[in-house]
């Protein structure tokens, strides 16, 4: 499985739009891996995870052919993960996809509302509504839908994705996983090859519910390994960074994550599993 991080920032991007904070000023100077667009990923060139406004820039900078992408997993309705306006580009006149082209968006009932209102005018867009602990098929992928601890008005879920050989956990915009997820894993005993974890707070200890910092990421790694659903070959990656996080520049954060055996994402990072 090939997993590519197209964007790796939280809602504001890094440097954040309009921002004159010390971090953003510093990163505008240094550039490099600290510059981040909003989160999106692509698996094997044909399965998209999330659909932010930065999709246009990701497709251009990574030379992606969306004609090959038939499925898109939506984590929740926040606009850094789902920018429905750009789905309307599928309508006649804005683009000319192949006659048989269709793309299915997988989303919870709440997150799917914004997509549902478009379906009548955009027959090439399909919606597959999912709920927590559903196991659904998306072409060659089997996708398990797990609950997220995040703004409940956004219909948040996280995804466990397998292509039949390798298995990924995509856990963005969530707090430390809920007890019922650990119980589910205890029962089903999956084996994860890649674990992508929310790290909005970077090195700042969490002082609210809904995201994670490196401390929760390290705890997740420890607990998954102890449970036997991850091992020394499992790749753990911190992702979804905000300029409000502490020590968020790549050069400051990555060595601290490395001490925990965790990689630090950057836009364009590719992992071959």
Write down the least CB distance from residue 150 to Zn ion, Å: 6
User: Quick one: which of 1, 9, 16, 149 contacts Zn ion (CB under 5 A)?
Assistant: 16
Residue 78 interacts with Zn ion (CB under 5 A): yes or no: yes
CA 72, 143, 230, 222 torsion: positive or negative? positive
Write down the least CB distance from residue 255 to Zn ion, Å: 22
Residue 173 interacts with Zn ion (CB under 5 A): yes or no: yes
Residue 24 interacts with Zn ion (CB under 5 A): yes or no: yes
Q: With contacts defined by CB under 5 A, name the span among 100-108, 131-139, 239-247, 253-261 that binds Zn ion.
A: 239-247
DSSP H or E stretch at residue 145: strand 141-147
Residue 243 interacts with Zn ion (CB under 5 A): yes or no: yes
Q: What are phi and psi of 40, to 5 degrees?
A: -160, 150
DSSP H or E stretch at residue 270: strand 270-272
Residue 128 or 243 having the CB closest to Zn ion: 243
Q: What angle is formed at CA 157 by the lines to CA 149 and CA 161, rounded to 5 degrees?
A: 130
Write down the least CB distance from residue 188 to Zn ion, Å: 26
- Listed as own residue / partner, the contacts of 223-226 with beta carbons closer than 8 Å and 24 or more positions apart are 223/182, 224/185, 224/192, 224/195
Nearest residue to 129 (alpha-carbon basis) of 91, 157, 167, 171: 157
Residue 166 or 243 having the CB closest to Zn ion: 243
Residue 16 or 115 having the CB closest to Zn ion: 16
Nearest residue to 250 (alpha-carbon basis) of 54, 2, 9: 9
User: Quick one: which of 19, 69, 118, 235 contacts Zn ion (CB under 5 A)?
Assistant: 19
Q: With contacts defined by CB under 5 A, name the span among 77-85, 91-99, 124-132, 228-236 that binds Zn ion.
A: 77-85
Residue 36 or 166 having the CB closest to Zn ion: 36
The side-by-side arrangement of strands in the sheet containing 103-108 is 125-130, 103-108, 71-73, 47-49, 40-43, 2-7, 270-272
Question: What are the residues binding Zn ion (CB under 5 A)?
Answer: 10, 16, 19, 21, 24, 78, 80, 173, 243
């Amino acid at each position: 499985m090939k997993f590519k991080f197209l964007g790796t920032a939280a809602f504001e991007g890094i440097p954040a739009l309009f921002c004159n904070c010390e971090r953003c000023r510093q990163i505008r100077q240094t550039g490099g891996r600290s510059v981040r667009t909003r989160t999106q990923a692509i698996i094997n060139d044909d399965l998209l995870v999330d659909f932010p406004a930065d999709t246009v820039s990701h497709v251009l900078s990574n030379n992606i052919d969306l004609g090959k992408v038939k499925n898109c997993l939506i984590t929740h309705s926040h606009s850094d993960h789902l920018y429905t306006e750009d789905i309307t580009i599928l309508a006649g006149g804005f683009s000319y996809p192949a006659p048989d082209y269709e793309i299915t968006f997988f989303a919870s009932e709440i997150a799917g509302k914004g997509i549902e209102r478009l379906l009548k005018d955009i027959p090439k867009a399909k919606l597959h509504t999912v709920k927590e602990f559903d196991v659904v098929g998306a072409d060659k992928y089997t996708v398990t839908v797990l609950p997220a601890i995040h703004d409940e008005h956004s219909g948040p879920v996280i995804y466990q994705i397998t292509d039949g050989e390798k298995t990924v956990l995509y856990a963005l915009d969530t707090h430390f996983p809920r007890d019922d997820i650990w119980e589910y894993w205890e029962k089903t005993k999956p084996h994860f090859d890649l674990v992508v974890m929310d790290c909005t707070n970077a090195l700042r200890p969490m002082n609210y519910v809904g995201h994670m910092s490196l401390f929760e990421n390290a705890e997740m790694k420890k607990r998954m390994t102890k449970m036997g659903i991850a091992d020394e070959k499992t790749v753990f990656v911190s992702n979804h960074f905000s300029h409000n996080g502490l020590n968020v520049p790549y050069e400051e954060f990555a060595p601290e994550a490395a001490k925990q055996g965790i990689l630090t994402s950057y836009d364009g990072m590719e992992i071959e599993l």
